[in-house]
Amino acid sequence: MKFDLDAVIIEHDERDSPLARRVLAALAPGIPVEYVADGREAARPRPGTDPFGAGKRRMVLMRRRAPFLMGCPAGSAQFACCGYQVMILASNCPMDCSYCFLQEFVADNPAFQVYSNYSAGFDEIDRMIHAAPARQFRIGTGELADSLAFDTLTALTRDLVPFFAARQTVTLELKTKTDEIHNLLELDPRGRVMVSWTLSPERVWRTCEHRTAPPAARIAAAGKVLEGGYRVAFHFDPIIAYEGAERDYAELIDNLLDVIAPAHIAFFSLGGLRMTPALKSAARRRFPADPMLLGEDILARDGRLRAFTPLRLRLYRILAERFERAGAPVPGYLCMEAPSVHERVFGAAPSNPATIGARLAHGRSTTDAPKDSSQ
């Protein structure tokens, strides 16, 4: 997959970093390269009609001044969380999904930043492992950026995969909407690396997920990395409750299970489209003709616009039941939903986040109790 870049900006002090050298060596001819003292300034929005969109085409290679590891920013005590740990290697994304939360989250620094001192993140992980040697962690790089977009340029996976492959208590999750798996197929993950795809029906992909790989290409890529020794997982998030969504999402799961046997799926996650009013405004400004941003969303208790509850939960149940009927149990969890919703969908209360995180790292069930069919 190819993405357009208008410019590459590199911090002076990082020009000899391995990342900068790799990017410069692989960069297509004609793309201007600029050197600056402080990448943070270059990452700020620039005047124009769409500063966020323009930021996506401006790659800034810079030092990260904050820690690389953090708890998932979506986590909250009001939700049944999955214990996901996030490693921030980059910020923003060359793809442009109309619903993307980054439109609000990184509005003040929208350039596509890649952090050249990422080996400091490896040190943080080692310290975390050392502090809790008995615990299993699931660490992902796909929260503020797509894990694989531009991997042909940055080749970050060539350092990430061997690092995680050598450690027994951490699982790396590379989350993506691309089919950029070339580097992965040349590495040996030794069972410690999982590649997960966000999947949406064809109609959502065509309407909302600009510059991403088509759903069928994502599924095909999953089949290939599975053969390459990686574990695979799938995120149905955001689920958009448009007219006909029930049929389309069920068909999407059927298409997935035609290619990947349920026994080979580490887990799946479900999450309804949720937007703060500010995000909805930003998204509507950038994509005024996108009907998917205009579902039957109402302001929920958490201050986010979500499809009204029976509709949203109906979709969750349809998808969860589809996996349940697939012939082999596939662990599932809900993103940014209350424990009561988890219980309604999966028939049992969720475990605590740390336990869920550890179980997902192993591909085990996220609930404690057996399913009660009366729910």
Partner 1 sequence: MASSTRTRTSAGRRQAHGIRGILLPNHDTALNLDDAIRALAAARRLPETHLARWLAMDEPSRSAFLELARTIRLRTGQIILALDLLGEIAVRERKRIPEILAAPELMRITARAGSAPERARAFIGALRALRFPRLRQASERLERQIAALRLPRGISIVLPRELGSDVLTIRLEVTRATDLERGLAVLADRGAAIARIVAMLGGSDEV
Binding residue count for partner 1, defined by CB under 8 A: 26
Q: Closer to partner 1 at the Cβ: 37 or 299?
A: 299
**Contact letters for partner 1, residues 265-304 (x by CB under 8 A):** -----------------------xxxx--x-x-xxxx---
Q: Is 77 in the site for partner 1 (CB under 8 A)?
A: no
Return the axis-axis angle of helices 215-227 and 245-259, rounded to nearest 10°: 30
Minimum distance, C-beta of residue 277 to partner 1, in the bound complex (Å) = 12
**Contact letters for partner 1, residues 163-202 (x by CB under 8 A):** ----------------------------------------
Minimum distance, C-beta of residue 97 to partner 1, in the bound complex (Å) = 17
Minimum distance, C-beta of residue 330 to partner 1, in the bound complex (Å) = 20
Q: Is 248 in the site for partner 1 (CB under 8 A)?
A: no
For the CA atoms of the chain, what is the radius of gyration?
20
Looking at residues 320 to 349 of the shown chain, list those that interact with partner 1 (rule: CB under 8 A): 338, 340-341, 344
Q: Closer to partner 1 at the Cβ: 309 or 352?
A: 309
Q: Is 203 in the site for partner 1 (CB under 8 A)?
A: no
CA atoms of 321 and 356, how far apart (whole Å) = 20
Name the residues that contact partner 1, by CB under 8 A: 288-291, 294, 296, 298-301, 306, 308-317, 338, 340-341, 344, 375
